[in-house]
Amino acid sequence: MIGTKLAGGMVQNGHLVEDLDEAMHHFSTTLGAGPFFVLPPRRFVELFHDGEPASESMIAEVAMGQLGPVQIELIVPAAGPSTYRRFLDHGGYGLHHFGYLTDDYDAVRADAIARGLRPATEGRSQATRVCYLEDPEHPDQPVLELIENCQTIADTFAMVAGAHAGWDGTDPVRYL
């Protein structure tokens, strides 16, 4: 049932990396992903980890690029508690999540919980909500990230995809 409620399907693969510059270089020169847009620090109005308020941001650095139809998010996790840190503790860097856009955030979240996933880290920015849903039996496996669809997200994702469509490999790193 979860797949029927996801507006745009899987739109993003999120990778945890140690060094953002090194990862952008690898993904752009070796895999052809890009260009990458380094985002300003993400600020949350509310942030929870394992149901408890979290006072720290979970992201130290993030960049988004595109590889074909899928957005690639490169993430350097901050030191505080998060789904990112738990994943690193159980296996290391690499593919952390599959990101899905949804127009029915509450229903999809409830459906995922009913299927046995648990909210790990959840946040609300001024524009949207996100929720990372983990399988408690497999903390070393990628998780599901729900991204509430809104105009800001749609515009950002379209800008990243549009830049990739006409990209000739030059200027692989850009700053927002």
**Extents of the domains making up the chain:** 2-164
- pLDDT at residue 146 in the model: 96
Return the sign of the alpha-carbon dihedral for residues 122, 124, 125, 128: positive
- pLDDT at residue 69 in the model: 94
Q: What is the mean pLDDT of the chain?
A: 92
- At 78-127, the pLDDT tens digits run 988 899 999 999 988 999 999 999 999 999 999 999 999 999 999 999 89
- pLDDT at residue 139 in the model: 86
Return the sign of the alpha-carbon dihedral for residues 34, 32, 157, 116: negative
CB neighbour list of residue 38: distance below 8 Å, 6 or more residues apart: 20, 61, 62, 63, 173, 174, 175, 176
- pLDDT at residue 3 in the model: 52
Q: In 35-68, which positions are buried (b, 16+ CB within 10 angstroms) versus exposed (e)?
A: bbbbeeeeebeebbbeeeebeebbbebbbbbbee
**H-type helices in the chain, by residue range?**
20-29, 83-89, 105-114, 151-165
Look at domain 2-164 and name its CATH class.
alpha beta
pLDDT band at 1 (very low <50, low <70, confident <90, very high): very low
